């Protein structure tokens, strides 16, 4: 047996990645200098990026051209830079509620416009010509929804090409005949790296071009760059990379673009602890994409063994926002030990600029194969049903006495409150029988040795022995 058979692929991978370690570290450490400050939160709109695009239009380093319009007549623009013969095409926000990479795109453009990293940028821009199409679905972004104004998923329109956005994407791909394409998306924060409690912060896919999932040179090149990017992300989010399913979808743009001859790299931005607005994930997009462009420009990716691609863990979807384990739940006079999996769903506010939480119990029972961003072992704790009390009662320690609903005159507008209890009308009555089941709002108390120690209000766990304002509470609800 030749030991080099096993050592050599790892040596090649380590050598290729280590050669760019300094660049990657510097990109990460200097990121704030290039971060686009006008894009602070996820729910960005067309009118926020238009002034940024206009700035690049007036910048001689860049070429900006209108390449199409959305159904609601919002411009689709292509921003290009570089003198190289190899075209690279990057597009983001094909789904209107997937904006992480759109933010990162403008960070990357700011970097390319700067005087910093001149040697590295000389390599990139002399070998490559970069083409960015940010916010492919501006109509969907306006109302923070996946689909476009026609109500279709643009990423399932590669064959019929009924959407003007899809036709634009196809036209640009064909005119550029890009060697690499970066298809930039967001995925649910509830994906985890297979059989681990870690969120799949970034997931990759080298899309298949047929049902057999064959690997030709085009797909192999995408796999090699993904292996390289995975090693970059592991430095900053260890164990938090997943591999998206490569089942062939004949209607999808990614699969067809690979079929048409472009090495297609799908990047999905998922979840990260304490990063609901995806600002750290945005940074990881910035670092990994720029590092990938550098390895493409200097062609070092070609030495990476594609066997490393299959070693990236697959995506699972086994995460909850809050998992409560081993809690005692009394029903019909009998005690049961169950787990609860809670999701804190986002409900858009008017204008689609912000959101509030309306949580549900997603599952209950034996959830031993599931994980939580927050996990509480409730062994020895018992669920206590919540109570309601009039606002005029004058009681101060409502939660400590098991009151989760306060009745009285409600605010004139809104469906959520920053108070730690739900607000309900004067005629509100709790159900006569308290029962937990999937789909209901998780509001109850936990008791140990006869004392109420914790409250769960709208899916947020509060330790009543600690200051409430230091526990990352989202909101309670107003029931009208």
- pLDDT value of position 264: 98
**For the segment 168-185, what is each residue's pLDDT rounded down to a tens digit?**
999 999 999 999 999 999
**For the segment 335-381, what is each residue's pLDDT rounded down to a tens digit?**
999 999 999 999 999 999 999 999 999 999 999 999 999 999 999 99
Averaged pLDDT for residues 131-151:
98
- pLDDT value of position 22: 84
Averaged pLDDT for residues 146-155:
98
Contacts of 379 (CB under 8 A, 6+ apart): 325, 326
> Where residue 6 falls among pLDDT bands split at 50, 70, 90?
very low
> Where residue 392 falls among pLDDT bands split at 50, 70, 90?
confident
- Residue 225's nearest CA partner among 236, 217, 235 is 217
Q: CA torsion angle for 347, 351, 354, 356 (degrees, to 10)?
A: -30
- pLDDT value of position 4: 47
* 460-463/451-457 β-pairing: antiparallel
Question: How far apart, in Å, do the first and last CA atoms of the chain sit?
Answer: 73
Contact 127, 81 (CB under 8 A): no
Contact 32, 125 (CB under 8 A): no
> Where residue 47 falls among pLDDT bands split at 50, 70, 90?
very high
- pLDDT value of position 33: 98
User: What's the sign of the alpha-carbon dihedral 421, 427, 431, 432?
Assistant: positive
Averaged pLDDT for residues 203-217:
98
**For the segment 91-134, what is each residue's pLDDT rounded down to a tens digit?**
999 999 999 999 999 999 999 999 999 999 999 999 999 999 99
- pLDDT value of position 81: 98
Run of H or E residues at 128: strand 128-133
Lowest mean pLDDT among 230-244, 314-328, 363-377, 395-409: 395-409
Contact 261, 181 (CB under 8 A): no
Statement: residue 5 has pLDDT above 60: no
**For the segment 449-471, what is each residue's pLDDT rounded down to a tens digit?**
999 999 999 999 999 999 999 99
Integer Cα distance of 68 and 76 in angstroms: 5
Report in angstroms the alpha-carbon separations of 329 from 67, 265, 332. 59, 47, 10
* Domains of the chain, CATH where assigned: 4-316 (3.40.630.10), 319-479 (2.30.40.10)
Statement: residue 43 has pLDDT above 60: yes
Statement: residue 29 has pLDDT above 70: yes
DSSP label of 335: E
Mean pLDDT computed over every residue of the chain: 95
Integer Cα distance of 32 and 193 in angstroms: 28
Q: CA torsion angle for 189, 195, 198, 200 (degrees, to 10)?
A: -40
Q: CA torsion angle for 21, 27, 29, 31 (degrees, to 10)?
A: -160
Return the structure tokens found at 299.
Answer: 């062609």
Return the structure tokens found at 417.
Answer: 């409150």
Contact 141, 96 (CB under 8 A): yes
- pLDDT value of position 170: 98
């Amino acid at each position: 047996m030749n030991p080099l058979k096993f050592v050599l692929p790892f040596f090649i991978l380590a050598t290729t990645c280590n050669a760019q370690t300094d660049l990657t570290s510097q990109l990460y450490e200097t990121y704030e200098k290039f971060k686009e400050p006008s894009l602070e939160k996820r729910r960005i709109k067309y009118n926020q990026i238009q002034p940024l695009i206009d700035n690049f239009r007036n910048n001689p380093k860049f070429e900006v051209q209108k390449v199409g319009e959305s159904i609601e007549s919002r411009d689709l623009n292509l921003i290009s830079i570089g003198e190289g013969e190899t075209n690279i095409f990057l597009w983001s926000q094909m789904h209107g509620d997937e904006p992480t990479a759109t933010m990162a795109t403008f960070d990357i453009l700011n970097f390319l416009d700067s005087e910093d990293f001149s040697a590295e940028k000389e390599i990139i821009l002399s070998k490559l010509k970069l083409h960015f199409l940010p916010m492919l679905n501006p109509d969907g972004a306006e109302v923070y929804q996946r689909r476009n104004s026609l109500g279709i998923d643009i990423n399932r329109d590669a064959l019929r090409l009924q959407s003007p956005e899809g036709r634009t994407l196809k036209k640009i791909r064909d005119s550029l005949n890009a060697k690499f394409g970066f298809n930039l998306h967001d995925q649910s924060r509830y994906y985890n790296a297979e059989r681990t409690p870690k969120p799949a912060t970034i997931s990759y896919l080298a899309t298949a071009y047929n049902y057999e999932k064959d690997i030709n040179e085009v797909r192999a090149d995408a796999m090699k760059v993904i292996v390289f990017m995975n090693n970059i992300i592991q430095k900053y989010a260890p164990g938090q990379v997943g591999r998206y399913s490569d089942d062939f979808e004949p209607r999808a743009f990614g699969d067809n673009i690979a079929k048409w001859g472009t090495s297609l790299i799908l990047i999905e931005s998922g979840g990260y602890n304490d990063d609901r607005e995806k600002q750290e994930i945005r940074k990881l997009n910035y670092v990994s994409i720029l590092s990938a462009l550098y390895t493409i420009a200097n062609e070092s990716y070609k030495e990476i063994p594609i066997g490393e691609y299959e070693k990236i863990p697959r995506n699972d979807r086994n995460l909850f926002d809050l998992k409560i384990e081993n809690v005692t739940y009394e029903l019909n006079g009998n005690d049961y030990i169950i787990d609860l999996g809670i999701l804190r769903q986002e409900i858009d506010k008017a204008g689609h600029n912000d959101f509030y939480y309306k949580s549900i119990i997603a599952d209950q029972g034996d959830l031993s194969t599931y994980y939580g961003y927050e996990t509480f072992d409730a062994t020895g704790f018992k669920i206590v049903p919540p109570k309601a009390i009039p606002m005029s009662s004058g009681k101060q320690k409502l939660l400590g006495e098991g009151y989760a609903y306060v009745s009285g005159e409600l605010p004139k507008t809104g469906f959520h409150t920053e108070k730690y209890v739900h607000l309900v009308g004067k005629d509100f009555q709790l159900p006569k029988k308290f029962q937990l089941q999937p789909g209901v709002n998780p509001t109850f108390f936990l008791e140990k040795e006869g004392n109420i120690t914790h409250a769960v209000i709208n899916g947020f766990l509060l330790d009543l022995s600690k200051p409430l304002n230091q526990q990352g509470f989202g909101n309670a609800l107003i029931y009208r």
